[in-house]
Amino acid sequence: MCREFILIFHCLLLFLFSELYLNMNTNKSSIVQQLSEKISTLNDNSVDKLASILVRVELKKNECFLKEGDVADSVYFVHSGLIRQFYYKNGKDFTEHLACEGNVFMNIESYLLQTPTYLFIEALEPTVLYGIPYKEIVALMDEYPDISVLYRKIIEQVLLKVQRKIDSFRFENANERYRRLLRERPEIVRRVPLIHIASYLLMTPETLSRVRSSIL
């Protein structure tokens, strides 16, 4: 079990996400403005500069947009849809993270070090993402201090979310983990196949079935 927790912690650091529930808008400046209002204030010029580097990504259901060996080059915001991050072990895939509308996520090791990843990310539904490319955001942070502060605060929020998830795995049993997911992320329970939910919660499908039966 200790080795499992170490693996969880390592993988969580590889792929971080924060539930910044935003009222997403297809206008790039509006998306950046919402981040500014919820996280750290940007002046109008910085909003325009950050919006100018956003990259729109459209994915079909079951389409992978990051595969083992790729280098993660962006931080992504989920405008609509649902994505899953997973890895393969002994011929089976294991769900690491799930992100839907309003979430921001990144494969942090590959992104920050610009090295190949061993993880995969796929769309479970038709999905629209907005990416902030690594090279462009680094250049903007050097020139715009308020963008640098915003970026740092995003990372801080992400790390807090990661710590809370680690604590859940460390201190809660299967029933408690599922109840927490129901309480905090009901949209995941409604939209994600149960086999992926079981893997995400570190339990077998049979255990998840028993837990769900005890609650219903």
* pLDDT tens digit sequence for 153-199: 887 877 787 788 888 889 999 999 999 999 999 999 999 999 999 99
Is 97 in contact with 85 (CB distance < 8 Å)?
yes
CA distances from 25 to 59, 90, 123 (A): 18, 41, 20
Confidence at residue 6, expressed as pLDDT on a 0 to 100 scale: 46
The C-alpha atoms of residue 181 and residue 44 are separated, in whole angstroms, by: 37
- Name the pLDDT band for 14 (thresholds 50, 70, 90): very low
* Angle CA 170–93–123, to nearest 5: 100
Burial of 175 (0-12, 13-18, 19+ CB in 10 A): middle
The C-alpha atoms of residue 79 and residue 92 are separated, in whole angstroms, by: 29
pTM of the model: 0.81
Least confident of 14-18, 98-102, 112-116: 14-18
Does residue 141 share a domain with residue 180? no
pLDDT in tens, 51-63: 999 999 999 999 9
Choose among 16, 18, 19: nearest CA to 107.
16
For 131-140, what is the mean pLDDT? Answer: 92
- Name the pLDDT band for 21 (thresholds 50, 70, 90): very low
Does residue 144 share a domain with residue 179? no
Does residue 196 share a domain with residue 153? no
Does residue 134 share a domain with residue 105? yes
On average, the pLDDT of the chain sits at 86
* Angle CA 196–159–100, to nearest 5: 40
- Name the pLDDT band for 205 (thresholds 50, 70, 90): very high
The number of residues making up the chain comes to 216
Does residue 177 share a domain with residue 146? no
For 87-110, what is the mean pLDDT? Answer: 88
Does residue 117 share a domain with residue 186? no
Residue 173 neighbours by CB under 8 Å, 6+ apart = none
Does residue 81 share a domain with residue 118? yes
Does pLDDT of 45 surpass 50?
yes
Does residue 141 share a domain with residue 202? no
CATH of the domain at 89: 2.60.120.10
Choose among 47, 126, 93, 117: nearest CA to 199.
93
Confidence at residue 13, expressed as pLDDT on a 0 to 100 scale: 47
Task: Provide the residue range defining the domain that includes 25.
Answer: 2-162
Confidence at residue 1, expressed as pLDDT on a 0 to 100 scale: 53
Least confident of 6-20, 73-87, 120-134: 6-20
Does residue 179 share a domain with residue 77? no
Confidence at residue 24, expressed as pLDDT on a 0 to 100 scale: 46
Cα 75 from chain centroid (whole Å): 9
215 located within any domain: yes
Does residue 79 share a domain with residue 11? yes
CA distances from 14 to 30, 142, 150 (A): 29, 25, 21
User: Among all chains, which residue has been given the structure tokens 């609650």?
Assistant: 215
The C-alpha atoms of residue 138 and residue 189 are separated, in whole angstroms, by: 36
Does residue 43 share a domain with residue 145? yes
Domain count, the chain: 2
